[in-house]
Chains A and B, each alone.
Chain A
């Protein structure tokens, strides 16, 4: 037969809780109440943190900030599937993942108010640094997973990135290396529809981002990224599969960046209010609230209590972050090399002498 079909692929989309909070009973992973409430608490906490950082940026107390409003389910639903020994490789918008993985909120804020100390991740926490150059961290996640596999550790990594990142060469190289070496990782794309002002449809001609997995010998699935249960279920399956030697998965979580790209961006320039409204109706926290209330895990009183506590915690965190002793200027020099070269020591002395002379 001169012409034969040599490949056929399909990609599924999964949703468990619809926009109004109705659950698909067959797909519901029926997670324990404690875990569900913890996920809810961290989603609310992240949103509270996010709103506070946006406000503080307007007051000049936080740097340019990348909000995660609307993406809480994608972030918490995925990170909640990991064990402590696993690793995360976030981008710059995954505030929820750091909070979930035990980074003190005050420390996270320390980074966003402008200090490297915010990324001095505590020992024993396998969280990699915020990665701002787009898509680079996908490769780091694959490399760490590959290393874990080589060492025989049952460790899984998640690399986070957005729809824009899938146009970068690094994304494709990460997918290719993950496929070739069957690295135990999850490449987690939050397709939030906009890369600053560039719409998802201008980023790629494909129907989905998830289908790109097939070209690399990687498993792929698309989920409703505003449905925390769908995100959890898909990621848990991918993580378990990776841990058991089944290789990598690309997950496309379809969500929406409700806020600006960063505080320096004005989204009204490039997108319509209708679109924002459409996604507000698909809010991840609201639909999860309905689900939890139907299950009798949450009531109005507890809901209010969780919100009040979040506000308290965020207020406390910013005060702590701002009270943190200013960085020592010497620190700029102290971590360039393992052993400080003489010329760098001289530059450090030059600065410190200058600072002393200013005080006189």
Chain B
């Protein structure tokens, strides 16, 4: 087993999936010769050639629209939008076509396009390069939204998406790209879509999170353990369809819950989780559920971004308030 970082794990997954299925094509801006601005698709063009990997014209809506036509014809396009903040020219295509073709045709056509983008903040980037727009996509019926937090999960989740027939958006937390390495099996394996991961078991409070915030929460949980607070951490992995069972199980167990994400707060993933807790575990709660999130403001430039994104201190504060309620 090799130790891989997130970039290497995703790259390995694509190598393996493209080898296995010749209908998979990779398309996007600079994904071929350049291997993508983060090198996630490096080597794919050399290995699979110009009939499988395309450096497209610079037009997100054109990339997605043609990918939809390809998928309807029978291919499986993996589409890169270079940064999450540049995905919106194609939003119309995702909302009005990609996610609803199965339904509109009553199952006659499927459209298994996988969109992927570097996601989120923490890399000192320019405007529009540090966004967390998962809510905008999770609200779309029929679209699978995945945000991995580890190299192992990333590879297995990609395999599951390639086995399935749903369109998906795969957000890659860019601050995790080279943050750490993990043992990743060389052989193919799958990690199920729609299933959360138990990051660590605990008895006092449940922290529900995903993406780059998982590591922030682990750091907070380590410090809280010193103070005698034993945190359980759940990594959602799939934002939509969300694993309600995992949420309810952990909340029933601890009776306390803090939800952490870097996206802005209002109407966000945390709000949806709280609604589900209200529906199924309200009477199990010993304290109100807390949210630690990005604020409801435009994602700031790097000079202020550390104040915007949740850090371990904010998570600890929320957990302690929940514990002392």
- Which residues of A approach B to under 8 Å, CB–CB? 87, 89, 116-117, 119-121, 123, 128-129, 131, 133, 136, 138-148, 150-151, 157, 169-170, 173-174, 176-177, 180-181, 331, 334-339, 341-344
Given the known inter-chain contacts A133-B92, A336-B103, A342-B244, please indicate yes or no for A143 contacting B110, CB distance below 8 A.
no
**Which of B92, B101, B105, B166 is packed against the most chain A CB atoms within 10 Å?**
B105
Task: Report the Cα distance A183→B97, complex, angstroms.
Answer: 21
Cβ contact within 8 Å between A338 and B165:
yes
Q: Please name the residue on chain A nearest to B193 by beta carbon.
A: A339
The yes or no answer to B321 lying at the interface (CB within 8 A) is no
The yes or no answer to B180 lying at the interface (CB within 8 A) is no
Given the known inter-chain contacts A144-B72, A147-B69, A176-B59, please indicate yes or no for A341 contacting B241, CB distance below 8 A.
yes
Cβ contact within 8 Å between A146 and B109:
no
Binary flags per residue of B96-108, CB closer than 8 Å to A gives 1, else 0: 1100011111111
Q: Which residue of A133, A138, A342 is within 8 Å of B97 (Cβ)?
A: A133
* 22 chain-A/chain-B pairs, Cβ below 8 angstroms: A117-B106, A129-B104, A133-B92, A133-B96, A136-B96, A139-B69, A140-B72, A142-B66, A143-B72, A147-B70, A150-B75, A169-B61, A173-B62, A177-B62, A181-B54, A334-B107, A335-B102, A336-B103, A336-B142, A337-B241, A338-B102, A343-B242
Q: Please name the residue on chain B nearest to A115 by beta carbon.
A: B106
The yes or no answer to B185 lying at the interface (CB within 8 A) is no
Cβ contact within 8 Å between B61 and A116:
no
Cβ contact within 8 Å between A136 and B93:
yes
A26 CB to nearest chain B CB (Å): 38
B92: A residues at CB distance < 8 A: 133, 136
The yes or no answer to B164 lying at the interface (CB within 8 A) is yes
B65: A residues at CB distance < 8 A: 136, 138-140, 142-143, 170, 173-174
Cβ contact within 8 Å between B68 and A139:
yes
A169: B residues at CB distance < 8 A: 59, 61, 89
Q: Please name the residue on chain B nearest to A159 by beta carbon.
A: B69
In the complex, the 7 A-B pairs of residues with the closest C-beta atoms, listed nearest first: A143-B69, A139-B65, A173-B62, A143-B66, A341-B241, A144-B69, A147-B73
Q: Please name the residue on chain B nearest to A131 by beta carbon.
A: B97
A141: B residues at CB distance < 8 A: 69
B108: A residues at CB distance < 8 A: 119-121, 123
Cβ contact within 8 Å between B105 and A120:
yes
The yes or no answer to B67 lying at the interface (CB within 8 A) is yes
Q: Which residue of B73, B96, B166, B245 is within 8 Å of A148 (Cβ)?
A: B73
The yes or no answer to B144 lying at the interface (CB within 8 A) is yes
User: Given A140-B69, A331-B106, A341-B241, 17 more contacts at CB 8 Å?
Assistant: A87-B73, A116-B105, A119-B104, A121-B105, A129-B105, A133-B92, A133-B97, A136-B92, A139-B64, A143-B73, A150-B51, A334-B107, A335-B107, A338-B164, A341-B242, A342-B241, A343-B276
A331: B residues at CB distance < 8 A: 106
The yes or no answer to B36 lying at the interface (CB within 8 A) is no
A143 CB to nearest chain B CB (Å): 2
Q: Using a CB-CB cutoff of 8 Å, which residues 74-90 of chain B contact chain A?
A: 74-75, 89
The yes or no answer to B274 lying at the interface (CB within 8 A) is no
Task: Report the Cα distance A343→B141, complex, angstroms.
Answer: 12
Q: Please name the residue on chain B nearest to A116 by beta carbon.
A: B106
Given the known inter-chain contacts A144-B72, A147-B75, please indicate yes or no for A139 contacting B51, CB distance below 8 A.
no
B61: A residues at CB distance < 8 A: 139, 169-170, 173
Given the known inter-chain contacts A136-B65, A173-B62, please indicate yes or no for A144 contacting B106, CB distance below 8 A.
no
Cβ contact within 8 Å between A336 and B57:
no
Cβ contact within 8 Å between A337 and B244:
no
Cβ contact within 8 Å between A145 and B102:
no
Cβ contact within 8 Å between B241 and A140:
no
Cβ contact within 8 Å between B166 and A338:
yes
B31 CB to nearest chain A CB (Å): 15
Task: Report the Cα distance A147→B66, complex, angstroms.
Answer: 9
B73: A residues at CB distance < 8 A: 87, 143-144, 147-148, 151
A343: B residues at CB distance < 8 A: 241-242, 244, 276
Q: Please name the residue on chain B nearest to A121 by beta carbon.
A: B108
A147: B residues at CB distance < 8 A: 69-70, 73-75
Cβ contact within 8 Å between A119 and B69:
no
Q: Using a CB-CB cutoff of 8 Å, which residues 140-174 of chain B contact chain A?
A: 141-142, 144, 164-166
Cβ contact within 8 Å between B245 and A146:
no
